[in-house]
């Protein structure tokens, strides 16, 4: 195979070899059910405890506050639905934002339509930042939950989680954050940031797919999500995904200990790619905050062209990236996130998201920038919109 340049690490990441290696014995040798009492099963039970501890340590949490799930979407569903159920005596109001992942937004829609919830979807500024003052102003006596993402998966904006946690705590409202993109990319501590619940997913940090966790602070009265056996302190039934959990523990520890060095390197590569695009390709805009930004995220809109066409041409060169559509497969609706930060419809359609990893080199992004320049030129040459723009500009 030709060399592939993988720039879609916000969609998923490669499972690290040491993660795979740590998982393997739990498929074939130590396959016991952690709930069984013979000593053979004790190995699986011990592995679960160890992974739970590894993860708790990355967040300043307690081991018994980590609940394993099948991924980020399940954690988000659980946090919202079960908190709504548990606290509905107090009220029915939830505060979130317009730029959340669909695992949050579609769950909110469900709660609104089917369960009588009232949801406030906060606006964000042109860089995608939530204003903590808006969060505070939206709180009413009926507010039971604030759910605001730690960092956005499309434009990479890092939200003021600490300030929001402070406000939630002062008003005694539960605070949940979808940290699927932020976890182990930026330092996070559940006590410092006054987080009550936090969602995460292994496959975004070089762990396996289909495993995640929900951090639930001790004392939060959240309901069980899956009913059945007594696993996960009776809150999430079902025989544990032991290999997945072991893999997640190793992936979390690995990503946590390498965070500083890894993200410093990523920021250099990211900024090099951003500056080459901004300096060499006219009529484009960087989406998301230039500074409060995930180390791996580049998101640009190119005027006059379709992001999908850019993607296809990059794919022909072995470059994997993502577009600004709500859903890359099929839907051509522009992303709700780009619309929320004020990117007009037609410009949103010309959006490209490239999310690097610590394996992405300067040479890789130089290759991409060189070709991107030519691709954008070529597509603009074929674009009637661009020809109109050129004509108009000649006349003024």
Ligand X SMILES: *Cc1c(COP(=O)(O)O)cnc(C)c1O
The reply to whether 157 sits near ligand X by the rule CB under 6 A is no
Q: What Å distances lie between residue 139 and 86, 167, 175, CA to CA?
A: 19, 10, 12
If one counts every other C-beta atom within 10 angstroms of the C-beta of residue 345, the result is 10
- Interface segment toward ligand X; rule CB under 6 A; list 19-27, 47-55, 69-77, 304-312: 69-77
- Interface segment toward ligand X; rule CB under 6 A; list 68-76, 88-96, 307-315, 332-340: 68-76
Q: How far is the CB of 90 from ligand X (least distance, A)?
A: 26
Alpha-carbon distance 344 to 366, whole Å?
A: 29
Q: How far is the CB of 154 from ligand X (least distance, A)?
A: 9
The reply to whether 293 sits near ligand X by the rule CB under 6 A is no
The reply to whether 72 sits near ligand X by the rule CB under 6 A is yes
The reply to whether 379 sits near ligand X by the rule CB under 6 A is no
Q: How far is the CB of 361 from ligand X (least distance, A)?
A: 24
Residue list 185-244, contact with ligand X (CB under 6 A): 201, 204, 212
- Interface segment toward ligand X; rule CB under 6 A; list 105-113, 166-174, 177-185, 337-345: 177-185
Q: How far is the CB of 159 from ligand X (least distance, A)?
A: 11
Alpha-carbon distance 318 to 29, whole Å?
A: 38
The reply to whether 71 sits near ligand X by the rule CB under 6 A is yes
The reply to whether 153 sits near ligand X by the rule CB under 6 A is yes
Beta bridge partners of 201: 212
Among candidate residues 362, 366, 148, the one with its CA nearest the CA of residue 277: 366
Contact (Cβ atoms closer than 8 angstroms) between residue 180 and residue 72: yes
Q: At what angle do helices 102-115 and 72-86 cross, to 10 degrees?
A: 30
Clarify whether 284 is annotated catalytic.
no
Map residue 396 onto helix, strand or coil.
coil
- Interface segment toward ligand X; rule CB under 6 A; list 71-79, 87-95, 186-194, 303-311: 71-79
> Which of residues 355 and 360 has its CB atom nearest to ligand X in the complex?
355
Q: What Å distances lie between residue 298 and 6, 53, 324, CA to CA?
A: 13, 33, 12
Q: In terms of DSSP bridges, do strands 351-355 and 297-302 run parallel, antiparallel, or are they unpaired? A: antiparallel
Q: How far is the CB of 212 from ligand X (least distance, A)?
A: 5
Give the residue at shortest CB distance from ligand X: 72
Size of the site for ligand X (CB under 6 A): 14
205-242 burial by CB neighbour count: b if 16+ within 10 A, else e?
bbbbbebbbbbbbeebebeebeeeeebbeebbeeebbb
Residue from the set 13, 54, 58, 73 that interacts with ligand X by CB under 6 A: 73
> Which of residues 180 and 319 has its CB atom nearest to ligand X in the complex?
180
Q: In what order do the strands lie in the sheet with 174-178?
A: 66-69, 212-216, 197-201, 174-178, 143-147, 93-97, 118-122
The reply to whether 178 sits near ligand X by the rule CB under 6 A is yes
57-90 burial by CB neighbour count: b if 16+ within 10 A, else e?
ebbebeeebbbbbbbbbbbbbbbbbbbbebbeee
Residue list 83-122, contact with ligand X (CB under 6 A): 101, 103
Among candidate residues 161, 230, 253, 250, the one with its CA nearest the CA of residue 198: 161
- Interface segment toward ligand X; rule CB under 6 A; list 113-121, 173-181, 183-191, 350-358: 173-181
Task: Show the site string, 133-152: x = touches ligand X by CB under 6 A, - = not.
Answer: ----------------x---
> What residues are annotated to the active site?
327
> Which residues are at the interface with ligand X (CB under 6 A)?
71-73, 76, 101, 103, 149, 153, 178, 180-181, 201, 204, 212
């Amino acid at each position: 195979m030709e060399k592939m340049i993988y720039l879609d690490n916000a969609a998923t990441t490669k499972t690290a070899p040491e993660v795979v290696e740590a998982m393997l014995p739990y498929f074939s040798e130590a396959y016991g059910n952690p709930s069984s009492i013979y000593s053979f099963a004790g190995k699986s039970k011990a592995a679960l405890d160890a992974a739970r501890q590894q993860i708790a340590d990355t967040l300043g949490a307690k081991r018994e506050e980590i609940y394993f799930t099948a991924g980020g979407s399940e954690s988000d569903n659980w946090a919202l639905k079960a908190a709504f159920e548990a606290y509905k005596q107090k009220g029915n109001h939830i505060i979130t934002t317009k730029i959340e992942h669909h695992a949050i937004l579609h769950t909110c829609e469900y709660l609104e339509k089917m369960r009588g919830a009232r949801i406030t979807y906060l606006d964000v500024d042109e860089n995608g930042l939530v204003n903590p003052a808006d969060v505070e102003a939206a709180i009413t006596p009926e507010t039971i939950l604030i759910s605001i993402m730690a960092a956005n998966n499309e434009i990479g904006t890092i939200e003021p989680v600490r300030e929001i946690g402070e406000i939630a705590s002062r008003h005694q409202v539960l605070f949940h954050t979808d940290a699927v993109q932020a976890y182990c990319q930026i330092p996070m501590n559940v006590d410092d940031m006054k987080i009550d619940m936090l969602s995460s997913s292994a496959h975004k940090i070089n762990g396996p797919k289909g495993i995640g966790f929900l951090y639930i602070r001790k004392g939060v009265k959240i309901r069980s999500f899956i009913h059945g056996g007594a696993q996960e302190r009776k809150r999430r039934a079902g025989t544990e995904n032991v290999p997945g959990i072991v893999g997640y523990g190793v992936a979390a520890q690995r990503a946590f200990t390498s965070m500083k060095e890894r993200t410093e390197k990523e920021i250099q590569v990211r900024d090099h790619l951003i500056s080459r695009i901004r300096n060499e390709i006219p009529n484009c805009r960087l989406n998301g905050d230039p500074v409060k930004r995930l180390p791996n995220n580049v998101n640009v809109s190119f005027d006059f062209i379709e992001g999908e066409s850019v993607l296809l041409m990059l794919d022909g060169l072995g470059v994997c990236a993502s577009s600004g559509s709500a859903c890359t497969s099929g839907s051509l609706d522009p992303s709700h996130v780009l619309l929320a930060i004020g990117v007009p419809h037609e410009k949103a359609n010309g959006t490209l998201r490239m999310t690097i990893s610590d394996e992405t080199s300067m040479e890789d992004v130089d290759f991409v920038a060189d070709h991107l320049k030519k691709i954008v030129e070529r597509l603009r040459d074929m674009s009637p919109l661009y020809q109109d723009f050129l004509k108009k500009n000649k006349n003024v």
